[in-house]
Amino acid sequence: ARRARIAAALTGDGVTAVVEGEAVLVSGRGLQARWWRDLALREAGRGR
């Protein structure tokens, strides 16, 4: 049920999400850019 809620929340953001066993597989336009943008923010918070 938890993974289904995660998939549903991601779908609301225009991302395709599929639950396969223990994994939630996601794909979508701009997903990689969002990931790198968030990663850059995390790294900046660590003083890097």
pLDDT at residue 47, as a whole number: 66
pLDDT at residue 13, as a whole number: 67
Q: pTM (2 decimals)?
A: 0.55
pLDDT at residue 41, as a whole number: 64
Instruction: Count structural domains, the chain.
Output: 1
Buried b (16+ CB within 10 A) or exposed e, 1-30: eeeeeebeebeeeebebeeeeeebebeeee
pLDDT tens-place string over residues 2-36? 888 888 887 766 788 899 999 989 888 877 777 77
pLDDT at residue 34, as a whole number: 73
pLDDT at residue 21, as a whole number: 93
Expressed as residue numbers, the domain containing 18 is 2-45
